[in-house]
Structure 1
Amino acid sequence: MFRKTVILIITLFFMALIIFTAVMFLKNEETLYTHEDVELSIDKPTFITLGEAQTETDGNATTMVYPLTFLTLSVGSLSITEETLPNGDVFLFDTAENTGWMPFTFSMNRSGMADAEVTRWNEEPMLQQEEATFGTDATRNPFGVIRSADTETLQGNIYVSRGLSLGNGERVQELRHEIYDFPIEEGVMEKSLWLPPKHQSESWMLISSEALFDSADTETEWAQFANANRRAQFNWLTPDGPRQKMALTDDLRTELAYTIPEQAESAYPEWFEETSSRFFESMEQYLAK
């Protein structure tokens, strides 16, 4: 009896190991979105199936929601939202939700970057600003600007968070991890992450057929200003609006809690008035929707 039990345990262990290996390391890639020379694909575990998308349209925004399943069991969803601004620029948002019981890895990849020029916005150390009201905003500047043959793209970071209800019942997102540097190899930029159970990841990019800044100096000055003035701009963007660090309360979970402000105030209008740069115009239009 003891021998049979040991054999059963060993068999179950190796079966679990095989399943874990398949889920975590055997992957396939599927294209999700194309616009001009921007192509976005997902590199995901083979045993996680990307179902047929359900399309929803709300004004100038179109969202494709893909169900994620593992052995026919629902483990979450992936959403791609394309929002066209009045000036013709495009915001592209991707959101992954893990509603299952196991973590999984995946990567949102942008191809066609072999000849692209990349200006990174996170070369300088992040300025940790401790404010009496809001505490520390842990978010960093966006990854940077990608200049390719037909487009200029401002690439945002990845924000991994979980939903929380505070003591007063308010729903917030608790920032668990921010990924702000993406490797670029053989013309492909990889936004890879590990998504724990009951968590979600959010990222974004702004795509323009025009130059985003009137000069390299303006871009540099803005990146430096944004690093030093955290509440004058927004890093964590979503289809529903920007997430911003909320004020501290007696609930310790507000140390890393973010909400979408009812009235988003920023320095974008002033910078647009002074420079006429496309980026500030697009951010104004995004916030005004």
Structure 2
Amino acid sequence: MDQPALTGRAATMRETAYAKINLALHIRRQREDGYHELETLFAFIDAGDEMAAEPADADCLHVMGEFATGLSDPFGNIVAKALNSLPHGKDWAVTLEKRLPVAAGLGGGSADAGAVFRMVERAHGLPDDWHERAAKLGADVPACVLSEACIGRGTGTELEPVVNDLAGTAVLLVNPRIPLATGPVFKGWDGIDRGPMPSGDLRTIAREGRNDLEPSAIQLVPQIADVIAALQASGAWLARMSGSGATCFALYDTGEARDAAADALPPAWWRLAGNLR
């Protein structure tokens, strides 16, 4: 995995794998197939993992970056699967700079796969059944291909448009640097349907919504509660856990307020400052 920085590669294409957050995540029931019926509000940050691709004699993947070691099998991961699932002409050498924590509720792997889909779209166009191919890779992948605010239903693959009145909003992502697998968090959900996600624009749904997985995640990683409390006390108008955790997000009225909040956090916590797309 010891690869040169992306800035030193003569790549034909570059793409950011935008970090995903769930502004709201309502779990409605567990289905007979074992999956959960949910309603979620997807949003994306203008930063994330970075990917580059250039022509090669054979498809290959190189992984680098702060969180590269968190991928137990980088050569069989979702990026390689995404590339293999799409016709893309000549073989590609893909370099992935892993900037987002792994198992963090940010859809990192799904975002990486979404970036592959967008690069293929730019180079060759996507097949008509791209949504189905994306959904086979993971429930978050179709939304990550679009990387724009939307509503997800079913397992998260049934996408609906939403009025995005929060584009450009200052956002801070914070993770206590503790990986948290999705399966145990869903397993710990108490099974209570607390009602549907509200309707309206992005701000309304975000303010009035909730994340039904927060209690389960906090049982597994109590530090999540510390992160949320710190963000709530930092001047944010909304602070909540994203997805199945352990990353939390906070939304601010100004970039200055966001940056001041980031500077005041414990230095051991991972943080990423950006804006909503």
With normalisation by structure 1, the TM-score equals 0.27
Q: Which has the higher helix share?
A: 2
Q: Which has the higher strand share?
A: 1
Bigger RCO (CA 8 Å, 6+ sep): 2
With normalisation by structure 2, the TM-score equals 0.28
Q: Rg larger in 1 or in 2?
A: 1
